[in-house]
Structure 1
Amino acid sequence: MRHRYSILLFPLHVFFDLLSLNAAFVGAYWIKFRTLDAVAEPPYAMLWAVFNLVWLADILLLKPYTFPRQLFKAYHLIQKLMLLTAIHVAIVSVFWVIVKGYYYSREHLLITYFLFLIFGSLFRIGGLIFLREYRARGYNNRRYVIVGYGKLATMINRFYEAHPEMGFHFFGYFDQPNEDNQHLLRGNYDQLREYVRQNRIDCVYCCLPYIDNSRLKSIVDDAEDIDFQVKLLVDFRGFLAKGASVEYHDFLPVLNLSSQMLADFRVNIFKRTFDIVFSLSVLVFGSPVFLLMALVTRVTSRGPVLYAQERIGREGKPFTIYKFRSMYINSEKSVPLLSKGQYDSRITPWGHFMRQTRLDELPQFYNVLIGDMSVVGPRPERQYFIDQIVEIAPEYRNLLRVKPGITSIGQIKFGYAANVEEMVQRLRYDLLYPERRSFLLDMWIIAQTVRVMVQGRGK
């Protein structure tokens, strides 16, 4: 009989869960009352019966014991146990309120669920270890073949070879023979149906794009007659790393391969909301500091308080960035120049202090408020330097997919760049941000920036 023992898994699972539940109920009663004399008498006899009936109802409605072998892991099993237990607690609580069962001991119920989670988890972990060892020895196995020979086909085969505990046994490749694959094939497409029937194959993996739609439809039709599973293998690894989603046009599924992390509505809305609240708070509550900074800047050197410069923002759009002026006026007479840090004679003494503490960046919160920038994001550059950077590191264009920011990973780890080569070095840090951005990462970057400001380590 095909998989004659697999049919026992469900009733055994139900039996051991009910055994664990009843053992927990009785054990908790003994721990609480130090006797078992009245556990099967009213009022606890009714509660005991409700415990069992509710658990059986959970099983019938939720069907919790159906796991594909690839997900048959301790984490998934215990997670499902905790979910079922939470539902059980909720239903029993409703029963308690309905019957006004205030005479039931809350401590007894708490101990019961605690013991049940322990017993249920031990049973699942023990059963998982047993099944893995049982399947690794060749029992309770599933037979599979792969249609369409190629790199994807060999990868799924190697996966199951590396995980014998899943119990999948390989029975060959099927494809149209050619000079490269004919010595590796079990047969061609026309021989597949008969081979599956004779060898009682459980699963046929079809690798796209090595197999065409007409052949795939024929295999699916055969699956209904011969009783085997059909699974499609499509190599989306390079796309899914950037994010993908499924859209449905009526009944037709469409895979959207555009980057979801950057286009995700919730992420962008949440980040923009944070930017507005944070920048507005800094501008309002920090206004005394702004006035003091402006006064000192004006007194210590001739020229305007603020310095405005064109930078390149998201999608290559130019905008005007604002900073407290840290250099003497007319410092760039011919071509744009980068700061040489503490050795740059163009920077005023007060400007050196502002750069070390990053206080010269404070007016950029206005850029954040109006939407040109974000609090956290790669530093915006001038087009003159972007053209030079792209010649050395074309991947810089990836940074233009997100809004530039006041602070970034590159600003924390590297700081100001004195030349194009250093800008490229800083780029290596900033390239981490577009693919990993999150609220927690933004909070970490802001916290690190505050630390740099307090320690005066900006350069």
Structure 2
Amino acid sequence: MRHRYSILLFPLHIIVDFLSLNVAFVGAYGIKFGTISPVFEPPYVTLWWVFNLIWLAEILVSKPYIFPRQLFKADHLIKKMLILMAIHVAIIAIYWVAVKGYYYSRGHIAITYGLFATLGIAFRIGGLLFLKEYRSRGYNNRRYIIVGYGKLATTIRGFYDAHPEMGFHFKGYFDDPTPDTVDQLKGNYDQLVDYVRVNQIDCVYCCMPYIDNSRLKEIVDDAEAVDYQVKLLVDFRGFLARGASVEYHDFLPVLNLSSQMLADFQVNTLKRGFDITFSLGVIVLGAPFFLLVALITRVTSKGPVFYAQERIGRGGKPFLIYKFRSMYVNAEQGGPVLSAGYRDSRITPWGWFMRQTRLDELPQFYNVLRGDMSVVGPRPERQFFIDQIIEVAPEYKTLLKVKPGITSIGQIKFGYAANIEEMVQRLRYDLLYPERRSFLFDMWIIAQTVRVMMQGRGK
């Protein structure tokens, strides 16, 4: 048995959802009023019909039950159902106002949607668990081959091997053999069509880097006669990570690789405007407090109030970062050394308090105004330590694509690092920022930083 029952999934979804909707409507009435007989009479029978007609209209318009196996997952199915329910609620609300149906019980309607969501989600999760077990036994499967052998071909095979619940069974690679690949291939191009027909192959994946257009055209031309699907694999992963989009010039698809550049420009413009406004506000309104911190720093230990150190900014450009001095003078005369936290004898008692509350970072708002830094961004490091980090974690280079900041996810979740290993651990947090950066995300990081400062939990 292969997949001849797959066609039943579509009507089964429709039937079960309609049953769930009607059972929920009647059951909710019984829960609310202790009886169900009035639900079969006006005015509730009218509302009952409206519920069903709206759901039917949504199905006809949005076709929510048509999707490939790759999207046949719990989160996708539940999300689609909840979107449909939200639209249903909105239309029922409009209907309620239009007919002035204030005699309908709001409690009954609320319970109806609660029951409907529970039944619908239970059916979807139960169905997925059943399919997973059913397909693991070899039923309801799709047989596929891959044309064009190479890294992309092994990647798609690895994907399906890692997701057996999708029911895709691999039946071999096809390509022109070479001494290096002959042992990996099931056959060559001349044997492909006969193999597909004899073994009832459902899907042929064609890897564009390894197949020419003439071969691809032959495979597509044979698809209708032999009854198999053709799917084209193009390795856009490096581009899509940068936010590429597809445009259509008449029937010709064009991959636009500059959409992320526009998004970055918009984010950076808003971010720079916020940085200037926020930094000016902090410096002007906090001037008396800055003076107080500077005075205490000067009185509690000998040396200058401020400390300047070279750090590496966006694009590998060096700049001087400014802080309130938290260590004794000449603390690094023996060379660059990371702080050992509360065990570090180089830190003054007042400096330790400033580090716990992040007060030593306040002068960096001047760096923000200069454009060296942003309020939010990965912490800048010295070249001496960057070279060591890259040896262990080359992905650190990603952080050099964005402007460094006063505070970051790594500063909140981890804090100051005492050695290269801890710097790499903090890096795991900061690597989340370049892909997720947004104005709202920055506001969240700032709020968390204020919380850390107030609680004195800076490490």
Please tell me the TM-score bracket, short chain as reference: 0.7 to 0.9
Which whole-Å deviations, capped at 9, do the CAs of 1:316-371 have from their partners, x for residues lacking one? 44545444467899x69x99877989655xx9887777667654432221221332
- Tell me if structure 1 keeps the 8 A contact 2:311–2:320: yes
Question: 2:63 matched to 1:63?
Answer: yes
**3-state SS of 1:173 partner:** strand
1 CA distance for matches of 2:339 and 2:160? 57
1:95 maps onto 2:98 in alignment:
no
SS of 1:39's partner is helix
Do the aligned partners of residues 359 and 108 (structure 1) sit closer, same or farther apart at CA in structure 2, a change above 3 Å counting?
closer
Cα distance change on mapping 1:127 and 1:348 into 2, 3 Å: closer
Matches within 5 A, 1:95-244: 95-235=95-235, 239=238, 243-244=242-243
The residue number in structure 2 matching 1:435 is 431
Residue 306 (structure 1) shift: 4.9
Cα distance change of structure 1 residues 255 and 188 upon mapping to structure 2, 3 Å threshold: farther
8 Å Cα contact 1:262-1:402 kept in structure 2:
no
1:228 is matched by which residue type in structure 2? Y
Q: Identity rate of aligned residues, in percent?
A: 62
Q: Structure 2 vs 1, CA of residues 352 and 41 (structure 1 numbering), >3 Å: closer, same or farther?
A: closer
Q: 1:138 aligns to what SS in structure 2? A: coil
> Is the CA contact (8 Å cut-off) linking 1:261 and 1:435 kept in structure 2?
no
Letter in 2 for 1:205: Y
Query: In structure 2, do the counterparts of structure 1 residues 91 and 310 end up closer, same or farther at CA, with 3 Å as the change threshold?
Result: same
Q: Is the 8 A contact 1:311 1:318 kept in 2?
A: yes
Moved more, 436-445 or 362-371: 436-445
- Kindly indicate whether the alpha-carbon contact (under 8 Å) linking 2:407 and 2:445 is maintained by their aligned counterparts in 1: no
- In structure 2, runs of 5+ residues without a counterpart are none
Secondary structure of 1:35's counterpart equals: coil
How far, CA to CA, are the matches of 2:40 and 2:300 in structure 1?
Answer: 89
Decide whether aligned partners of structure 1 residues 46 and 322 sit closer, same or farther in structure 2, where only a CA change above 3 A counts: same
CA distance in 2 between partners of 1:371 and 1:326 (Å): 24
Matches within 5 A, 1:5-404: 5-235=5-235, 239=238, 243-248=242-247, 250=249, 251-254=252-255, 256=257, 264-265=264-265, 267-269=267-269, 271-296=271-296, 306=306, 311-324=311-324, 359-380=359-380, 385=384, 395=394, 398-404=398-404
SS of equivalent residue, structure 2 residue 453: helix
CA contact (8 A) 1:147 1:207 kept: yes
8 Å CA contact retained: 1:410, 1:429: no
Contact 2:316/2:400 (8 A) holds in 1:
yes
Matched-pair contact (CA < 8 Å) for 2:361–2:406: yes
With the length of structure 1 as denominator, give the TM-score of the two structures.
0.79
Q: Note the alpha carbon deviations across 1:378-407, whole angstroms, 9 max, x for none.
A: 554677x58976997895655432323334
Distance across 1 between alignment mates of 2:152 and 2:335: 51
User: What TM-score comes out, normalization by structure 2 length?
Assistant: 0.79
2:40 alignment partner, SS class? coil
Q: CA deviation at 1:60?
A: 0.6
Task: Give distance in 1, aligned partners of 2:13 and 2:72.
Answer: 13
Deviates more, 1:82-91 or 1:34-43: 34-43
Q: Which amino acid aligns with 1:428?
A: V
Deviation at 1:151, TM superposition (A): 4.2
- Secondary structure in 2 matching 1:264: helix
1:450 alignment counterpart? 453
Flag the 1:4–1:394 CA change in 2: closer, same or farther, 3 A.
closer
Could you say what the CA RMSD is over the residues aligned between the two structures, in angstroms? 4.1
Residue identity in the other structure for 1:99: V
Contact 1:412 1:449 in 2 (8 A): no
Q: Which of these two proteins has the greater Rg computed from alpha carbons?
A: 1
Once the two structures are superposed, residues 272-298 of structure 1 have per-residue CA deviations (whole angstroms, 9 ceiling, x without a partner) of 455345423321332111222344566
Aligned residues between the structures: 445
More off after superposition, 164-173 vs 151-160: 151-160
Q: Which amino acid aligns with 1:450?
A: M
Q: CA deviation at 1:181?
A: 3.6
Instruction: Find the aligned partners of 1:143 and 1:57 in 2 and give their Cα distance.
Output: 36
Offset of 1:199 from its aligned partner? 3.8
- 1:378/1:21 Cα in 2 relative to 1: closer, same or farther (>3 Å)? closer
Deviation at 1:90, TM superposition (A): 1.2
Q: Per-residue displacement from partner, 1:5-27 (whole Å, max 9, x unpaired)?
A: 22222222211111111111111
Seen in structure 2, the aligned counterparts of structure 1 residues 288 and 124 have a Cα distance that, compared at 3 Å, is same
Equivalent pair of 2:399/2:431 in contact (CA under 8 Å): no
Partner Cα distance (1:42, 1:391) in 2: 73
1:218-274: per-residue Cα shift (whole Å, max 9, x none)?
Answer: 32333344442222334556x37954423537444326399x699734553554455
Q: Distance in 1 between matches of 2:8 and 2:324?
A: 75
How much does 1:411 deviate?
10
Shift of 1:58: 0.8
